[in-house]
Amino acid sequence: MIVDGKEIDVKWRFTRFYGSPYAQDRDDSWAVLKNLYNEEDIPWFIHGDFNEIMYSFEKKGGLPRDERRMEKFLNAIEECQLNDVGFTGNWFTWERGNLPETNIQERLDRGLANEKWLLMFPEAKIQHLSQEGRKKGRREIALGLKLGGHWRILLWMKYKNYREWQQRISCKSCNL
C-alpha cells in the first residue's frame, strides 16, 4: 500500500509480508519478496513474519539453523536493497516448548526498509511487546514514527498466526 500522510509530504510504500512456515517453500517466499521489490524511487518499509532468521544468534535452543537457509534470506534482502530497522523490547518473537530442554526461541518478525525510508524516518522504532503473549504463541509489535516532533504509533499488530493477523493503523501519540 502507498502511505500518503498529512504530516509529511512524501509518499512511501508499506508492505506486510508472511514467509512460508515450511522450509521447503522458503525459496518461493524469497521469490515473492524479490517480485515485490521494484526499483521505483520511493521509500519502502516492509514488516512481517519472515519465518526465518538472518543470523544464528537469533535462535536459542533446538537444532542449529542451516546456514544455507539464512544465506538465502540475506541474499534476498540484499537484492531488494533492504536493511533491518532493528527493535527494542523482547529479543525473540516466537517460542515453542515449555520445558527448558525443549524450549526454542527465534526472532522471526522484523521490519526492513530501503535507504530512502530510513533517511525519511531516522528515529523509527519497532517495539516487541508482551513477553507473556509470546509464550502463548501470540505476538504484539508496535511501529512508532516521530512526526512533527511527536511519536506516533503507525502500526500495532497483535496476532497468533497468519490467519489471525489483526492490523490497526492509527496516528495517536505514544511513548515508545
Q: Alpha carbon of 140 to those of 45, 128, 135: distances in Å?
A: 18, 6, 11
Beta pairing partners, 110: 48
Pairing of strands 94-96, 83-84: unpaired
For residue 134, what is the enclosing H or E element?
helix 131-135
Q: What is the mean pLDDT of residues 27-44?
A: 89
pLDDT digits (tens, 9 = 90+) for 92-116: 888 888 788 889 999 988 899 999 9
Question: Is residue 57 within a helix (H) or strand (E), and if so which, with residue range?
Answer: none
Reported pTM: 0.79
